[in-house]
A = this chain, B = another copy of it.
Amino acid sequence: MTAQISDQTLLDLHHRMVRIRIFEETAGKLMEDGKIPGALHLYVGQEAVAAGVMVHLGNDDWITSTHRGHGHLIAKGGAFDRMFAELYGKATGYCKGKGGSMHICAMELGMLGANGIVGGGPPLAVGAAFSSRFRKTSNVACTFFGDGASNEGAFHEAANMAGLYKLPVVFVCENNGFGEYTAQANHQAIVDVADRAAGYGMPGVVVDGMDAVAVYEAAGEAIERARRGEGPTLLECKTYRFYDHVGVRGMGLSYRSDDEVARWKERDPIKLLEARLAEHEILSPDQARAVHDEVTREVEQAVAYAESSPLPEPDALLEDVYA
């Protein structure tokens, strides 16, 4: 399998993951410093999932995201400056400051929006997939959702319709073991969300969500299957969020042990990929550091752009309600 993956693709995966990581680390700090208003749900720890899936998609392929959506947009090609501007509520943001972190989107990149409603994405993605086929394109839709979201009726109805119509959509479940502060064992009686696939007549696949290459390969198969018109797949990625549900420290609740967090951090998806890249002499530790530094500079410039950007004018309040 791994034979298939080119060095270039491996470097691409790495770059997308580092971009997400550094963007999120910075956003988290800015939020705790009170510079970014509202709520931020950081994607740190789950980077391999967004990167592994998005590498297969073009701008005409659609994704729907979640409240934890920065990583998805970055992996889909989102620009740091317009993203930070949006988080700051500035007029130069992707949504002119009207959406913020929970609704950030980029239609031109095929990113149908983060979503403040858990389970809000799957039905929209089914619609995008339906639309791609109706308009006779070969585009696919990927919908990201969490283990918690898999208990929403909206997921069920969307999955059933996708299976029924054999739509080109991939249901990417990012199972990070928790819905807010509730562990999976306390929100569903199953271990693998993928077990639900059979009930919709679609294959269910479980993959190590900390291994970017594993996600890349499994997502590739599911996406190709969808493009071939063979229907949807439920791809479950076992992953973990390194920070709290909201922000970095969040509410400071003890709903998971430091041990558990530490154990998962040992499998930091970026560390794992960099080790592999070094081992195969594709990217040396120094070169890796250079990538981080380069991205860090980009992020700093983007933050500066956001901070110097204008706030929306009051008139904007009543604009964009209707077309």
Q: Interface residues, chain A, CB within 8 Å of chain B? A: 151-157, 160, 163-164, 166, 186-190, 195-196, 198-202
Contact = CB atoms under 8 A, between A and B. Distances in A.
A217 B143 CA distance: 42
A240 to B, nearest CB: 22
Decide if the interface of chain A is mainly helix, strand, loop or mixed.
helix
Contacts of A153: 152-157
A151 B166 CA distance: 16
B199 A186 contact: no
A155 B199 CA distance: 13
A202 to B, nearest CB: 7
A136 to B, nearest CB: 22
Given A190-B199, A198-B198, A157 B163 contact: no
List the 7 shortest-distance A-B pairs measured between CB atoms, nearest first: A153-B153, A189-B201, A156-B156, A196-B199, A163-B189, A151-B160, A164-B189
Contacts of A152: 153, 157
Contacts of A154: 153
A199 to B, nearest CB: 4
A189 B166 CA distance: 9
